[in-house]
Structure 1
């Protein structure tokens, strides 16, 4: 490569170390570069790329507290801010397996480990420039998502036995596979595998086996690929999916944990961890994966407050599941810290009423700590806001189920917005809560139903006992509380009743509904019962 190979090209160095910027600029000037710009953060680099096209980008992997180099590449591709001819190189001192594999997995044009020589840099750039020039039409078609053109250009390069035919075979097979042209993809892969058992061909063939539910064939191909490269995370992902399809979540977890050790910064991989962990009821693993999803996305274009909410919800769920008091307390503290930390990230929470979400989470923690009355009061303070803030309806549903307000929970669940229904993790949480409370709700309904039956037949003492048992299962249930009060008031109206005991029980039960937002039918009953209670109390004082 001639020393002036970078002449007239726009170059962007993205690195937060000023000393490296200046040193690297000197190297690039000696290679002919005269138009060199700098950006210390991924966010600033993204802004510069919105305003100008760069021919070559040298990007450090770690860029302080903002976007990583990997996230910057994802964002640039998502926004179509990289020209097909542009060169994107990760240049970093990071050489740990997770960092290298996470970056390489996204397939930048190259990955350079500091320190490196000018000769190495020159040779790397020359190779990439030559490839980009030779396959100019293919890169343009890939950039424009013109799948038919991609297939045609690959076939042309392969037929001419060009020097990049292996690359083109891979692109061709991947494109055919993504377009669900399985027979055509399998033909390309079969011919290639007869010549060379390359890892990429083995894994693409394994994907075809998986689509055909040939799980044993898929696993065998993945294992062969891993024999050649034990860091092949995609092969481990596919193994995990095969094991899940075969109802072997333990084996799936082992495979996906290996994949995460190799390359942890993949959204799809962390979602797979969550699916497997939920199947195994492995709460600690769910917390780790949900936190990773939040951390991966919080500085990228895929930033979504849903990931933050899911992480916090998962930690609360973990606290509910834990039988170890110390572990339960740690999860409760983690929830409070996450809520506090989120308040410092205005860009994350600006699209929702975070105050409402936080109050509902605090109420769930209060319920978890046995403070049922306080949890219900906390809910009452924000209940009127739920009709306007649908993003927290699901959290209200989970809280109401926790404190035993099953009827209101069911009513709100029917009003869940599409955003909640399309959130797979939230859907799984609601489903699990429903399953976990089914038995309790069934017994509660039986006691309540039997109490109503006994009340109607005039057996007020026995009715009160049934409602009392119902409240043991759902201590904050408004309907059962009103039924219990009504039975106690009947006992108080009878001379033979134990007035003192019934009166005290009645007074305490009113706390369940006092100053709470009530549906119209409950509100009318409450007022009537409150009036009767006050009248009886007045008579008792005489």
Structure 2
């Protein structure tokens, strides 16, 4: 029976090496497999699985530039394209800790390192087949997400002291924790922990302690699990969460960095890295995690342009925060490379107008390089398109705040859709910008208000001085620029001003008009601009006579 373990089963080999496909086909043929299909890429394998149910899948981890074996397994599960009784086995020559642990974390049915013997393969397949057959009802309930049926079947198997009772205890405990039945879950674990403190039991008990906010107990259990297996990334994840709950972010970062080194290809892990790094304002770690999230998702069903945008936004933020000019330049170059690379990935950017996002990022880099006027001109080129560009509204807000157009930034911020506000990375970047610019914005507002007060009191010279101070803080602010022009024009109409002073005021007025010339303006600013420009032209004509 063992020699015919694959008889009458549909088998799919997913490997980009033709030589291995043919060699492996020979091995499987000797095991009874006659219905064998091939796919050289993860994308082609996914397409085949949409049209055909396969009983056994042998999948290489590395599959060229497309989906890898781990991503294929995630996609098949997400789309429910794996039958409950199907076997998914990763077969690869990759034996580095990060790759192995990242794959094993997703719990394929098995993981085989090349080269391997036919006997080893046959034994592994037979063992999995027996387990799938004995626990057929359980696997079906798990596939259908019928939690009560999962609980009932596990309890039945445990009461009969069957061969797979330890596996069922684990599944039962995980399910009870999902249902928030923590006391019941703890009762299942109690006997196991008394007899043998296995890693899975320690971790599930640790999760129960975490849910109950017993963080010190949780840490102790995680440490015990790590003493028996230093590659236990899940224990390090939970350790990091406990330290965050205990307001110890430095310890949390150490733990999550170790976890990410062991198994870097987990979205939840990288999100946790981002969260902790933000708490500590660790810019390089934020950039690394945001890039990793983008790389993890770009070839999977979880592909979303948000991860690309968040990565680029994080790198721009890093460039803004960098004090070393060389480091700042490296981040700017990384931004440009990421934008250029994204242009080649049509599947990633097809759901948004990437041109608008790219132009806004370019404007932010221009502002960062001190080219404030050019940044505003760049923004002006796409401002009219923002009414239909929800994906880029937030980036317009970031740019406008960056160049000091606070009023327009606030107007756009109020238009941000709820989905945008649910993006934790973007929210954190926007909050950080508000915090970092708060003092400058407060001083700007103070100077601008004082200028308005002086203008109303008829002290136009002091008003101009106050508006000038405001513009030093926000040189591209349209409102302050118009206020400054208005106060200068009032000075030009004062007969007491000498020719030299009038000439200076005229020149400053002319230069300030550049801040608003040919820019998209709200209606109230547009009307005011036209009035001031008309007055300026009239004064200039009078001076020429």
TM-score (normalizing by structure 2): 0.99
* Kept in 2: contact 1:391–1:417 (CA 8 A): no
Match of 2:386 in 1: 386
The offset of 1:502, in angstroms, is 0.6
Match of 1:502 in 2: 505
Inter-partner Cα distance in structure 1 for 2:208 and 2:513: 64
Inter-partner Cα distance in structure 2 for 1:368 and 1:69: 41
Q: Which runs of 4+ in 1 moved over 3 A?
A: none
- For residues 197-208 of structure 1, what are the structure 2 equivalents within 5 Å? 197-208=197-208
- Paired residues in the alignment total 542
Inter-partner Cα distance in structure 2 for 1:524 and 1:29: 82
Inter-partner Cα distance in structure 1 for 2:235 and 2:99: 18
- For residues 298-317 of structure 1, what are the structure 2 equivalents within 5 Å? 298-317=298-317
Inter-partner Cα distance in structure 2 for 1:344 and 1:419: 26
Match of 1:98 in 2: 98
* Kept in 2: contact 1:226–1:232 (CA 8 A): yes
- For residues 210-229 of structure 1, what are the structure 2 equivalents within 5 Å? 210-229=210-229
Inter-partner Cα distance in structure 1 for 2:4 and 2:293: 44
Inter-partner Cα distance in structure 2 for 1:211 and 1:55: 38
The offset of 1:2, in angstroms, is 2.3
Inter-partner Cα distance in structure 2 for 1:246 and 1:463: 52
Inter-partner Cα distance in structure 1 for 2:496 and 2:175: 84
Q: Any idea what SS the aligned residue of 1:83 has?
A: coil
Q: Structure 1 unaligned segments of length 5 or more: list them.
A: none
- For residues 69-88 of structure 1, what are the structure 2 equivalents within 5 Å? 69-88=69-88
**Match status 1:516 vs 2:516:** no
- Partner deviation per Cα, 1:502-532 (whole Å, 9 max, x = no partner): 1111011001100001111101110000000
Match of 2:62 in 1: 62
Inter-partner Cα distance in structure 2 for 1:441 and 1:131: 65
Match of 2:165 in 1: 165
The offset of 1:427, in angstroms, is 0.6
- For residues 56-455 of structure 1, what are the structure 2 equivalents within 5 Å? 56-455=56-455
Inter-partner Cα distance in structure 2 for 1:464 and 1:212: 62
Q: Any idea what SS the aligned residue of 2:357 has?
A: helix
Match of 1:14 in 2: 14
Inter-partner Cα distance in structure 2 for 1:215 and 1:432: 29
The offset of 1:495, in angstroms, is 2.4
The offset of 1:494, in angstroms, is 1.2
Inter-partner Cα distance in structure 1 for 2:190 and 2:541: 91
Q: Structure 2 unaligned segments of length 5 or more: list them.
A: none
Inter-partner Cα distance in structure 2 for 1:60 and 1:419: 37
Q: Any idea what SS the aligned residue of 2:88 has?
A: strand
Inter-partner Cα distance in structure 1 for 2:507 and 2:50: 70
Inter-partner Cα distance in structure 2 for 1:218 and 1:505: 66
Inter-partner Cα distance in structure 2 for 1:507 and 1:190: 81
Q: Any idea what SS the aligned residue of 1:450 has?
A: helix
Of 530, 536, 539 in structure 2, the residue corresponding to residue 536 of structure 1 is 539
The offset of 1:496, in angstroms, is 2.7
Inter-partner Cα distance in structure 1 for 2:423 and 2:403: 24
- Partner deviation per Cα, 1:122-154 (whole Å, 9 max, x = no partner): 000000000000000000000000000000000
Q: Any idea what SS the aligned residue of 1:37 has?
A: strand
Inter-partner Cα distance in structure 1 for 2:162 and 2:496: 102
Q: Any idea what SS the aligned residue of 2:111 has?
A: strand
TM-score (normalizing by structure 1): 0.99
The offset of 1:536, in angstroms, is 0.7
Match of 2:23 in 1: 23
Inter-partner Cα distance in structure 2 for 1:163 and 1:229: 25
- The RMSD of aligned alpha carbons is 0.6
Match of 1:526 in 2: 529
- Partner deviation per Cα, 1:388-427 (whole Å, 9 max, x = no partner): 1111000000000000000000010000012211111001
Q: Any idea what SS the aligned residue of 1:57 has?
A: strand
Inter-partner Cα distance in structure 2 for 1:61 and 1:194: 38
Match of 1:45 in 2: 45
The offset of 1:540, in angstroms, is 1.1
Inter-partner Cα distance in structure 1 for 2:58 and 2:489: 79
Inter-partner Cα distance in structure 1 for 2:440 and 2:245: 32
The offset of 1:500, in angstroms, is 1.1
* Kept in 2: contact 1:252–1:276 (CA 8 A): yes
